[in-house]
């Protein structure tokens, strides 16, 4: 049972434009959501997170939106830069569990 | 956030043998987590390692196959035992950071190929 789903395995965006990565979840107990970026031969690097008490969190070029009723979150990157090309994972957890449940990842390619 | 040193970074092993992966953290942490990423797949939690107690394994993972040690608050090992080609994956350790907004920190991973 895939509790966290990223339905787009890949996304290609032109440099300077907005990148939107999507993630859906099924477990209503999840109350904390994170986005990670992963380059080849490296571990995932934390990008941004959001608690279920919020619907938006912003950090520089990165904004995460959470729609609890739809069990959907998205990561917006604007403007997109070539260095943003990587695999992006969304992850979720619920209070007390501490462990993360990951989506399958979306490979983002930023074209010059 | 914590800094994790994980080794080896990669290895090619013969089937039937075992490999031990080490993770060293630069600060004391209560819980360490071990994940597996099979080719083209998501990261899946193998077990949670607490210092001074038995590791807690997720469904589908057993101690005989993936024994874990946690001798102190800065170090843990994961052994992949009696390996088969299906064990070829990236193995990652992770710790939860003190400030929740910083998320969880991951090691650089161990890319294991079993031949």
Average pLDDT, chain A: 94
Chain B residues at the A interface, defined by Cβ less than 8 Å, are 1, 4, 6, 9, 31, 33, 41-45, 48, 58, 92, 94, 96, 100-109, 111
Average pLDDT value for residue range B86-103: 81
pLDDT (0 to 100) of residue B100:
53
Average pLDDT value for residue range A8-32: 96
A104 touches chain B (CB under 8 A): yes
pLDDT digits (tens, 9 = 90+) for B32-42: 999 999 988 89
Is the CB of residue A85 less than 8 Å from the CB of residue B24? no
Query: Please, which residues have CB within 8 angstroms of residue A67's CB and are 6 or more apart in sequence?
Result: A55, A73
Average pLDDT value for residue range A73-89: 97
Task: Indicate whether A36 pLDDT > 70.
Answer: yes
pLDDT (0 to 100) of residue B30:
86
pLDDT (0 to 100) of residue A96:
62
A105: nearest CA partner in chain B: B42
A2: nearest CA partner in chain B: B42
């Amino acid at each position: 049972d895939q509790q966290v789903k990223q339905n787009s395995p890949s996304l290609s965006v032109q440099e300077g434009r907005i990148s939107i990565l999507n993630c859906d979840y099924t477990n209503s107990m999840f109350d904390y959501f994170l986005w990670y970026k992963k380059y080849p031969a490296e571990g995932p690097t934390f990008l941004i997170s959001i608690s279920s008490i919020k619907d938006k969190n912003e950090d520089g070029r990165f904004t995460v939106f959470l729609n609890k009723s739809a069990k959907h979150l998205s990561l917006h990157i604007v403007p997109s830069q070539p260095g943003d090309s990587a695999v992006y994972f969304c992850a979720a957890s619920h209070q007390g569990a501490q462990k993360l449940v990951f989506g399958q990842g979306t490979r983002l390619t930023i074209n010059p | 956030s914590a800094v994790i040193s994980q080794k080896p970074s990669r290895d090619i092993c013969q089937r039937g043998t075992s490999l031990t992966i080490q993770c060293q953290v630069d600060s004391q942490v209560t819980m360490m987590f071990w994940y597996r990423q099979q080719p083209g797949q998501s990261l899946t939690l193998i077990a949670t390692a607490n210092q001074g107690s038995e590791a807690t394994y997720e469904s589908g993972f057993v101690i005989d196959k993936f024994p874990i040690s946690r001798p102190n608050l800065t170090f843990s090992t994961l052994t992949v035992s009696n390996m088969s080609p299906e064990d070829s994956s990236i193995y990652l350790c992770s710790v939860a950071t003190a400030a929740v907004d910083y998320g969880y920190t991951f090691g650089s991973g161990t890319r294991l190929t079993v031949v």
